[in-house]
Chains A and B, each alone.
Chain A
């Protein structure tokens, strides 16, 4: 792996996996290179963005299935049955 990927790995092992040896390494790196703190911050934001993206994708999949079941011809009987539950 190239150097920039090694740094991503080090931050991940320290932040997400919470491995003490990487946490110590990262702390030492921050002492030597002050820009490390900024890299850590961007990586945290990126994790948050990915999780948010996954959440949105899941909701879109659910909405798509819901729309299919409540609009496609082939699910007519399912729809009719559900509607009957609200008309009785």
Chain B
């Protein structure tokens, strides 16, 4: 599953990234700025269009370019704001330290279970798509397996006493 997605992401890079890089370069940004922004845009594209089923009236490349332009604009405005406040030590926001911890805890519940659960609850696949992806004979078998995995992960989360706040990055 991951390899198929990686191939799709690579196609997006090859098709859409040059225009984004040219735009960011013209605006005075670096290659690293362009790569970071493009990565964020791909997350947005997946979560809103592919998983969120938001319909777009344009090509994926044009949509990604639009997101990158907005992200760059926000990034640029944030830089101006930061540099105009003198004498105040503004620390960059650090990534939430628990995210890595959570990922490793959940791996313990088993890779197959986690892939199945994230396909349903994060990628929002239907039960028939889920059954097809994971090779179940019927939607019913996929449903039963989903709940077995959910129970396993819930017990793992419970045993580690994770709280709701641990997941708010």
Contact = CB atoms under 8 A, between A and B. Distances in A.
A25 interface: no
Interface of A: 1, 4-5, 8-9, 12, 42-59, 61-66, 68-70, 78, 81-83, 85-86, 88
A45 B164 contact: yes
A54 B157 CA distance: 15
Contacts of B34: 82
A34 to B, nearest CB: 17
Interface stretch (B59-67, B76-84, B98-106): B98-106
A68 to B, nearest CB: 7
A45 B167 contact: yes
Interface residues of B, number: 49
Given A42-B158, A49-B102, A53-B114, A78 B14 contact: yes
Contacts of A52: 99, 102-103, 167, 169
Given A49-B162, A53-B102, A85-B22, A58 B43 contact: yes
Contacts of B163: 45
Nearest to B12: A65
A82 to B, nearest CB: 5
A64 B34 CA distance: 16
